[in-house]
A and B are shown apart, each in its own frame.
Chain A
């Protein structure tokens, strides 16, 4: 009989060590992979963020911005970002007429911003600004970056849909007197722009080029020579193919973060996190002794699972997110503390370790549940009504609370339960941080 009980005790403890070892192996084997997989926010890895207000195009002021237009704009922006080769762009519609674009890890921010906000409306006009032909007359997706046959300069070539139209236009222009026989190629022409003024502006000019047309051209291919670098020519071809934006984008705010500063903030925050968590662990072990050690195990599991769930949700980690994670450790600790204090209370009334554990776990459960539900309620409202920064924080808080509830309540209970049920802790209240003299002898 006694032998059999001893056998059960041993197997309970063996089970404890199996769980802890399995967890340890699991964490050690892939925690680094998970850490590396986390998508970092702009504030951590550098990049930039632009908030655009969407407005109807010039001359179409009466058009209402509707959901469809916004989605079209987002797809056009996505196609353009492909040109940049950014791996994880984030483009979100906010409110009725705003689009937030976040590009992390972009080296050339200037190029990226130009590429995003240009409307890519290619137009061919004469020197009197009369429209001859526009992007709608070109073959869709037919823009290419090439090199000029003679000068070897990078050029962009586009293909005209209708060869006759182009021949008519070139015939018309070639018949004009010298100096006026120019085919002016505009990008994003706006009402009120004029060739005369614009050609004086040098580099910022919206005129891509203004070739002289001396004779009618009977070809569908149009070469645009614009004093490009190869890269600029590639970008222009890229955005022409990605298509013009159906709307005009006004920059409402711009936030750009240098990557070096981001990395530095990240290192500091992560370090602070480690120090904070180490202090918590030390305090828990010193104050709650054996139960504290169990708490340290479940807290480690908590941090690990939060990382895994966070990756699984494809969420983006920002500085407030890290803070929410570390704060979440505090909430997980709280659940442990509430349970442990209850167990200590029960021990002080003279209950045995086993019944104190049972009563303490049971009575602390509703407290923890109510406290967690109210906090989740607040976090959910923040997520639902909040915007970007507040939302990211709320997601992390919700994930943290749910995980902390599972690990701190069920994890701690399971692990501690194995020890308690093995009866090895019987009559050892000191291990729970309860002194013998505090125990109420009257009730035992």
Chain B
């Protein structure tokens, strides 16, 4: 995979409207789903108790439900996991301490493994999510300031647009597939935000460098030529990096076990979204904003010149 910028015909900017509308439609669908169906909130965000039973032999959901019924409990949901040797029973509303101890000792006697019992009031999960959200807003502000200082304000704005695009992308996918959202999911979204910034900054760094090499960049065509050149130059790096990170996240997803499934799935989705936004959204948004800025400046300069010309005329 070598992409030679001198011979490459790849045009990333030409189809920007298609990329923008794809993302806009996709995220819109996400918003609609979010406000109607909502996310499948796990026990971290909905009050209740989950009991995770490790049986070390193949079991069926019916068997586990029967076991619960034998000791007088009726779980709201039983899901099998692992090689069908783990069952996760949830009780919305929750079990009392005594009840969970009873359940634990029953399954301990049955399979020789103490089940995990997690009881949680949703306050904790909600606060964590809120807390994470506020942290991201503060971090975004910090990033804009840093990028404005090191690059230019418009790069910062475009990077933050890409960042929120990626975070919303994961949330949209999760509201479509209705996978359970838990606290590790939030950690995954945060990771992707970090990755997304990293990825976007690397391409922006190349755009900044190429901009300084150009003698005159004024029209949209000239801006997009620089963007295209920069994206092609960093393409091998973008692909190789995302591939290696996907190796790690994919290994976690496929063989990392139940405990990491939601986390690693969110990571893989986010990595795809992050690469997509770095290649097709961030730089294009920047190109549009930059052209507008250049136009404004040119108009100002023209007005200034016209004004000066007028003054000169009146003087003579």
Q: Given the complex of chains A and B, what is the CA–CA distance between A130 and B289 in angstroms?
A: 79
B127 interface contact, C-beta 8 A:
yes
> Chain B's nearest CB lies how many Å from the CB of A368?
8
- Apart from A261-B113, A386-B132, A390-B190, what are 16 other A-B pairs with CB-CB below 8 Å? A259-B114, A265-B259, A276-B247, A276-B252, A323-B188, A323-B264, A323-B267, A330-B241, A330-B245, A337-B237, A348-B4, A378-B143, A379-B194, A382-B139, A390-B135, A438-B2
Which of A259, A264, A280, A387 has a CB less than 8 Å from the CB of B248? A280
A interface secondary structure, majority: helix
A118-126, A224-232, A249-257: which lies at the interface = A249-257
> Chain A's nearest CB lies how many Å from the CB of B22?
26
B-side contacts of A324, CB under 8 Å: 187, 191
Which of A273, A275, A371, A393 has a CB less than 8 Å from the CB of B198? A371
Q: What 9 pairs across the A-B complex have the smallest Cβ distances?
A: A268-B257, A276-B251, A330-B245, A276-B248, A272-B256, A258-B114, A381-B139, A385-B135, A279-B247
B45 interface contact, C-beta 8 A:
no
Known: A337-B240, A382-B139. A326 touches B132 (CB 8 A): no
Q: Given the complex of chains A and B, what is the CA–CA distance between A389 and B118 in angstroms?
A: 15
A23 interface contact, C-beta 8 A:
no
> Chain A's nearest CB lies how many Å from the CB of B205?
4
Asked whether A273 lies within 8 Å of B233 as measured between CB atoms, the reply is no
B147 interface contact, C-beta 8 A:
yes
B-side contacts of A271, CB under 8 Å: 255-256
A420 interface contact, C-beta 8 A:
no
A-side contacts of B244, CB under 8 Å: 279-280, 283-284, 329-330, 333-334, 337
Known: A273-B251, A386-B135. A258 touches B259 (CB 8 A): no
Known: A272-B257, A371-B201, A390-B131. A254 touches B52 (CB 8 A): no
B10 interface contact, C-beta 8 A:
no
B10-54 at interface with A (beta carbon < 8 Å): 52, 54
A-side contacts of B198, CB under 8 Å: 331, 334, 371-372, 374-375
Kindly state the interface size class of chain B when it binds its partner: 35 or more
CB-based nearest A residue for B82: A264
Which of A253, A330, A384 has a CB less than 8 Å from the CB of B119? A253
Sample 16 A-B pairs with CB under 8 A, ordered by A number: A51-B124, A254-B118, A254-B120, A258-B115, A271-B256, A272-B251, A272-B255, A276-B248, A277-B248, A323-B184, A326-B249, A326-B252, A330-B248, A337-B237, A375-B198, A378-B194
Contact with B along A373-414 (1 / 0, CB 8 A): 111011101101111011001100100000000000000000
Q: Given the complex of chains A and B, what is the CA–CA distance between A257 and B118 in angstroms?
A: 8
Asked whether A276 lies within 8 Å of B250 as measured between CB atoms, the reply is yes
Asked whether A341 lies within 8 Å of B114 as measured between CB atoms, the reply is no
Known: A326-B252, A370-B201. A381 touches B117 (CB 8 A): no
Q: Given the complex of chains A and B, what is the CA–CA distance between A387 and B186 in angstroms?
A: 12
Q: Given the complex of chains A and B, what is the CA–CA distance between A341 and B202 in angstroms?
A: 12
A43 interface contact, C-beta 8 A:
yes
A-side contacts of B101, CB under 8 Å: 110
CB-based nearest B residue for A284: B244
Asked whether B142 lies within 8 Å of A381 as measured between CB atoms, the reply is yes
A-side contacts of B264, CB under 8 Å: 323
A205 interface contact, C-beta 8 A:
no
B168-199 at interface with A (beta carbon < 8 Å): 183-184, 186-188, 190-191, 193-195, 197-199
B-side contacts of A385, CB under 8 Å: 131, 134-135, 138
Q: Given the complex of chains A and B, what is the CA–CA distance between A394 and B136 in angstroms?
A: 13
> Chain A's nearest CB lies how many Å from the CB of B195?
8
Asked whether A279 lies within 8 Å of B251 as measured between CB atoms, the reply is yes
B109 interface contact, C-beta 8 A:
no
B146 interface contact, C-beta 8 A:
yes
A113 interface contact, C-beta 8 A:
yes
B-side contacts of A444, CB under 8 Å: none
